[in-house]
Amino acid sequence: MTLSPEQLDAMLLQTLDDQRLSRKEKRALASALEPLAGDETKLAAARSQAFDLARQQFADPESKAVLSWLEDVVKLLQPRASTEQTPKPEAYFSPGDPCAQRIAQLFHRTQRQADVCVFTITDNDISEAILAAHRRGIRLRILTDDDKSGDLGSDIARFEQEGIAVRLDRSRYHMHHKFAVFDGSLLLTGSYNWTRGAAQFNEENFLLSYDPRLWQAYAQQFERLWQTFA
C-alpha cells in the first residue's frame, strides 16, 4: 500500500529526530517506499518532501540555500529513462512450450517480488519456478479463483503449505484474470492459462511490457483485489 504524503512526512520526521538514519529505519523506509519503485514522478515528490523537512531544520538562510543547491544537483544526477534502454515488448503464443518456459524464466530472474493474479496454476514447470523463487527469498503474492484452486492438479494448496501468500476470491463468480507484475517494472498479461493444457493444446497468448502506464495500472488493480479478498 502506497504511503500518503502525510504518512511519509510522519515517517521521515521520526527518523529525523536524532538526525541520523539507523539501519532499522533504513529497512523500514525502504520497505515503505517499495510500491514507488519505477515511478519516477512519485519518487521525485518523495525526495522533495525529504528536502523540505531537512530545510525546516535550518534557521540560517545561507544553509537553506546550500540545501536547495544540493537538491538541484541530486535531481541532475538521477538516472533518466531512455526509450533505447527500455526492453522491447514481447509476445508469446501457444500451443507450444515457449509460453511456460518464458514464465518460468521470469520467476528465476525475479530479484525482489512478483504479484500473480491468475485463474489457475497446474503447470508443474511454472509451479516449480514459483517455489524456487520463494525459497530464495522472493516476495510472492498469488491471487486465484477459489473454485479452480480445488481442481485436480492445482498447485495452490502446495504454495500455501510452502508459506507463499495466497488469497482466493471466495465468490460465486470467477476471478478470471491472467496477469503478473514482476519487480514493479514488468507486466505479463494475456489469455494464457498457467496450465499444461494451455501449453500443449490451446490457442492462447500473453505479452510482456515494461511500459509504466500499463504495469502500474495492473499493480493498482492487484492491490485493490488483494485487499478485497483479505
- Annotated catalytic sites, by residue? 176, 178, 183
DSSP 8-class letter at 140: E
DSSP 8-class letter at 121: B
Whether 127 and 121 have beta carbons less than 8 Å apart is answered as yes
Distance CA 101, CA 104 (A): 5
Contacts of 75 (CB under 8 A, 6+ apart): 44, 47
Distance CA 38, CA 223 (A): 16
Question: Which residue matches cell numbers 515517517?
Answer: 11
Task: Tell which residue, 127, 171, 163, 168, has the closest CA to residue 149.
Answer: 168
Give the SS3 label for residue 207: strand
Distance CA 128, CA 136 (A): 12
Q: How many residues does the chain have?
A: 230
Beta-carbon neighbour count of residue 91 at 10 Å?
10
